[in-house]
Amino acid sequence: MEQPDLSANTVIDQPRALTDKTTLIRDAGPSKFQVIADFDGTLTRYRVNGLRGQSSHGILQQGNADFDAKREALYEHYHPLEFSPVIPLEEKTILMEEWWSKTHDLLIEGGLTYDAIKDSVSNSSIAFRDGVAELFEFLEEKEIPVLIFSAGLDDVIEEVLRQKLHRTFKNVKIVSNRMVFDNDGRLVSFKGKLIHVLNKNEHALDMAAPLHDRLGADNGEKVEENAYVKQRTNVLLLGDHMGDLRMSDGLNYETRISIGFLNDNIEKSLESYRKAFDIVYLNDAPMWGALELVSQFFPTEES
């Protein structure tokens, strides 16, 4: 695929510091390295065909118009509260828990099926940034893990990966809300701790779960896998919100390079983004910059 010149859409506040970090990560080698990524608006595009792209939560049609409308009503009620500047964090956390649990209950009550997830994804306008598949492939070759942290729905994200990238990657793991289906493929419960927009970064590493099969079976490797991931103390972090920087909180990292995708409100937010992230990409840029960076860390030797 053609890789366009990204320089006009790239902002690096401290190029020298970035070079130093690059050297540290390269010298420590691929066995010390991992990638931690947000999903919506980071791996996926913010705009698709000129329109706002859909989120992993937003695409879900559960095949029952009443219940879709009930979830939409919850969104109308809680979404403004999420962004309210006057509600204290503690209170907001309780509200977000309320929103997520009510939404999950509606998905169960309304009889969500795995087939409805598949249909929702195939009818959606969700799309990965160009270069995401190539980035995952490169990292898979080097046996470097990718952790995707999301307050969305694990099973939807997995289906998006399957349908939009046409394959799965053994190095990619998702930390998100996981569903349990019965033998008829009907949702019966959610597994583990509720992950909402305000707690997705707490304990996220401990919740890192291997990609499970579609009936939610565990493969029992969880504990060892997580210990292994915690030893990888050099990190490339990908996010589109300031809060995403906290995704590496559960890790005592040595060197971290952060990439921020600034999708909207560019004039207002650029100052804070350029101070917070090592690299900022503007205007819904593709993922080629991240791929180039990891290729610099760990070049593939010419034979």
Between residues 41 and 131, which has the closer beta carbon with respect to Mg ion? Answer: 41
Least distance (Å) between residue 162 CB and Mg ion? 20
Between residues 53 and 289, which has the closer beta carbon with respect to Mg ion? Answer: 53
Q: 56 CB contacts (<8 Å, ≥6 apart)?
A: 39, 40, 126, 150, 152, 153, 156, 157, 160, 176
Burial 201-235 (b: 16+ CB within 10 A, else e): beebbebbbbbbeeebeeeeeeeebbeebbebbbb
Q: For residue 233, which phi and psi values (nearest 5 degrees)?
A: -95, 5
Least distance (Å) between residue 128 CB and Mg ion? 13
Least distance (Å) between residue 240 CB and Mg ion? 4
Stretch that binds Mg ion, among 5-13, 38-46, 66-74, 274-282 (CB under 5 A): 38-46
Q: Taking CB under 5 A as the rule, does residue 284 contact Mg ion?
A: no
Tokens of 180: 């349990």
Between residues 55 and 255, which has the closer beta carbon with respect to Mg ion? Answer: 55
Tokens of 82: 């999420």
Cα separation of 181 and 159, whole Å? Answer: 15
Tokens of 31: 């066995």
Q: Helices (DSSP H) in 52-185: which residue ranges?
A: 65-82, 89-109, 114-122, 132-141, 154-165
Between residues 209 and 262, which has the closer beta carbon with respect to Mg ion? Answer: 262
- With CB under 5 A as the rule, give the number of residues binding Mg ion: 4
129, 43 in Cβ contact below 8 A?
Answer: yes
Stretch that binds Mg ion, among 31-39, 123-131, 160-168, 223-231 (CB under 5 A): 31-39
Stretch that binds Mg ion, among 40-48, 92-100, 131-139, 286-294 (CB under 5 A): 40-48
Q: Helices (DSSP H) in 179-234: which residue ranges?
A: 222-230
Least distance (Å) between residue 163 CB and Mg ion? 20
Between residues 114 and 278, which has the closer beta carbon with respect to Mg ion? Answer: 278
Q: Taking CB under 5 A as the rule, does residue 41 contact Mg ion?
A: yes
Cα separation of 42 and 129, whole Å? Answer: 8
Q: Taking CB under 5 A as the rule, does residue 38 contact Mg ion?
A: yes
Give the up-direction half-sphere exposure of residue 137: CA atoms within 13 A in the CB hemisphere. Answer: 11
The residues annotated with a catalytic role in the active site are 38, 40
175, 209 in Cβ contact below 8 A?
Answer: yes
Between residues 25 and 96, which has the closer beta carbon with respect to Mg ion? Answer: 96
Least distance (Å) between residue 115 CB and Mg ion? 27
Residue nearest to Mg ion (CB): 41
- x/- map, 226-245, Mg ion, by CB under 5 A: --------------x-----
Least distance (Å) between residue 151 CB and Mg ion? 9
Cα 105 versus chain centre, distance: 23
Give the up-direction half-sphere exposure of residue 129: CA atoms within 13 A in the CB hemisphere. Answer: 30
Which residues make up the interface to Mg ion (CB under 5 A)?
38, 40-41, 240
